[in-house]
Amino acid sequence: MRKDSKTTAAAIARLMLAAVLPLVMLAACTDTYPNIVSNDGSGIGNDETYDRTPIMLYVNEPNYFSIIATRGTGELTVDKPEKYYNSVVHVFAFRDGPDAQGVFSGNADMTRTVHSTPRGQYDAHRTDCLLDGPDYNLGMPTMFSRAENGMIEMQELDSNFCYSARYQDVGYNFFAYHIDDQAIVDANTQRLADRITYNIKIDGAQDIMVGNAPKLTRRVLDEKMAPGNLHISATDQEKILNIGNYSTFAAHRGVNPTIDMRHLLTMFRFTAYPGDRSAANIRIKGIRMESKYRGELTVAANDTSLIGIKFEEDKDELELRDKTDGSEPAPPLKAEGYVVQWTDDMANLNWQARPGLRVGECLMVAPDSLYTLTLTYEQTVSVGNGQTEVRQFETQYLLRADNSRLYWDPQEEVYRFRPGYYYDIKVVVYGLQPIKVEVGIESWEDGGDIPLDPDDEDSNDEWLGDQDVAVR
């Protein structure tokens, strides 16, 4: 599942928490698009000399949160912009059809390519594929960099590309995605005529994001004109809307695609708090969550409603991992475990007001309505005659999504822990009684607090109890 460190670094994307991030791909373009017919005398050739129009591509701030730095490097926030650099997303663009013109009369064939090594479906005249990557299985890689104006922009990593100067009224769909360190090869790629999908597996440390630019409807065009920096005549507006998607004609008037990226997984973060003075007698050694872990990810499709991931029903336990600088896969939790500290000045404080200890990085799992959470810890116990032993225990909880608006997923029309939301799990550590857990539910748009406590009858979890699993 994992690549080497260089490939891993090139497969991670972080999107800056800003209103709009430009993904700029400027070009000294060589070939224009699309060349409807060849230069064999059968029709108009590709010998145009008009100015070339570079594709300008933008990415909206993710709807729910600032993307975390995966591979365990910590969450991305506005005050940590360095984590956005040296990060890659991939982009596809295909003709939005069908159109009335001859070779454009059908839907785009997504098996065709313009940038990768020809495999028999090379789109010599670019009638279907505007943009893909040098690797046939992946879209064009793009990278964040700092612009002179202080913004975070996207720069091209490979082939330059442009719209067509001659055929200005052909529209295109744009797709972008981030697949972290997933190893994408022929065996797990399906580049079909109507869509591009990957068979993927998650391990709890990866982030998956997808997005596409919305159709150029009246509403979308009005939003782009709202700031007042676009002055488009009524006649040109109608033509842009008739084309229906992003084109040379629209680009000449400052109308460029903005891709709405969204996170497909649900994030859980863990913080331990001392419950009493005996808390230092506990070492948290591991945290696992049972989750669906494999599925089919659709990153581009003629039917844009298919964009997203469908998980299979089988589950696996995904382990919380420790932090890393992102240059290599995140390691297991440190062998010595995590120990919270007690000081006497905490006695009069509610546990929530006491200093917390962040445990590991986070777990990113498949959205679901129910999870089994397993906490492994060591405790020194008395065995009589003044002797003690270090024993390992496991405590399990069932985490259930409440039937409230905070858990309602309008896309799937179910109550569940939602994609694009994070949930803070707060572990309260006591040395002489069972560890207690509370989940603070916050979305990448803020939510409320939902208690998960075995002593709370109103809790939306079920404590499965402690189990002595080992003696040392």
What would the two tokens of residue 304 be? Answer: 């844009």
Instruction: Report the phi/psi class of residue 308: left, alpha or beta, with left for phi > 0 and alpha for psi in -120 to 50.
Output: left
Q: Determine the average pLDDT of the residues in 182-188.
A: 91
Residues 6 or more apart from 169 whose CB is under 8 A from it?
A: 239, 243, 247, 248, 249
Q: If pLDDT is split at 50, 70 and 90, which confidence band does 15 have?
A: very low
Going through 114-220 in order, the beta strands assigned E by DSSP cover 129-131, 140-146, 152-156, 172-178, 189-191, 195-201, 209-212
CA dist 89 and 131 (Å) reads: 14
Q: Is the pLDDT of residue 80 over 60?
A: no
Q: If pLDDT is split at 50, 70 and 90, which confidence band does 92 have?
A: very high
The CA–CA distances, whole Å, from 70 to 2, 372, 436 equal: 13, 23, 28
Q: If pLDDT is split at 50, 70 and 90, which confidence band does 327 have?
A: low
Residue where the block lists tokens 């709009």: 20
Residues 6 or more apart from 172 whose CB is under 8 A from it?
A: 93, 94, 95, 96, 130, 163, 245, 246, 247
What pLDDT does residue 123 have?
Answer: 83
The CA–CA distances, whole Å, from 119 to 111, 122, 124, 215 equal: 9, 6, 12, 31
Q: Which residue has the higher pLDDT, 69 or 311?
A: 311
List the beta bridge partners of residue 58.
Answer: 22, 258
Q: How many CB atoms lie within 10 A of CB 372?
A: 16
Q: Determine the average pLDDT of the residues in 133-154.
A: 67
Q: Which residue has the higher pLDDT, 461 or 348?
A: 348
Q: How many CB atoms lie within 10 A of CB 3?
A: 15
What pLDDT does residue 42 have?
Answer: 30
Helix axes 234-243, 218-225, angle to 10 degrees: 130
CA dist 181 and 370 (Å) reads: 27
What pLDDT does residue 44 have?
Answer: 33
Q: Which residue has the higher pLDDT, 174 or 74?
A: 174
What pLDDT does residue 190 have?
Answer: 96
Q: How many CB atoms lie within 10 A of CB 148?
A: 6
User: For the segment 93-127, what is each residue's pLDDT rounded down to a tens digit?
Assistant: 999 977 666 778 789 999 999 888 777 688 877 78
What pLDDT does residue 293 have?
Answer: 97
Q: Is the pLDDT of residue 159 over 60?
A: no
What pLDDT does residue 214 have?
Answer: 92
Q: Which residue has the higher pLDDT, 446 or 191?
A: 191
What pLDDT does residue 87 have?
Answer: 57
List the beta bridge partners of residue 287.
Answer: 375
Q: Which residue has the higher pLDDT, 218 or 3?
A: 218
CA dist 423 and 437 (Å) reads: 12
What would the two tokens of residue 154 be? Answer: 């996207």
User: For the segment 361-401, what is each residue's pLDDT rounded down to a tens digit?
Assistant: 889 999 999 999 999 999 888 788 888 888 899 989 899 99
- CB-based burial, 40-56: b 16+ in 10 Å, e otherwise: eeeeeebeeeeebbbbb
What pLDDT does residue 24 have?
Answer: 38
Q: Determine the average pLDDT of the residues in 170-184.
A: 88
Amino acid (1-letter code) at residue 8: T
Q: If pLDDT is split at 50, 70 and 90, which confidence band does 156 have?
A: low
What pLDDT does residue 311 have?
Answer: 97
Q: Determine the average pLDDT of the residues in 54-67.
A: 56
The least confident of 42-51, 124-133, 340-349, 425-434 is 42-51
Q: Which residue has the higher pLDDT, 182 or 285?
A: 285
Q: Is the pLDDT of residue 199 over 90?
A: yes
DSSP 25-89: ------S-S---S-SSSSS--S---SPP-B-EEEEEPPSS-PPEETTTTEE--TT-GGGGTT-EE
End-to-end Cα spacing for the chain: 34
Amino acid (1-letter code) at residue 192: L
Q: If pLDDT is split at 50, 70 and 90, which confidence band does 22 have?
A: very low
Q: How many CB atoms lie within 10 A of CB 265?
A: 21
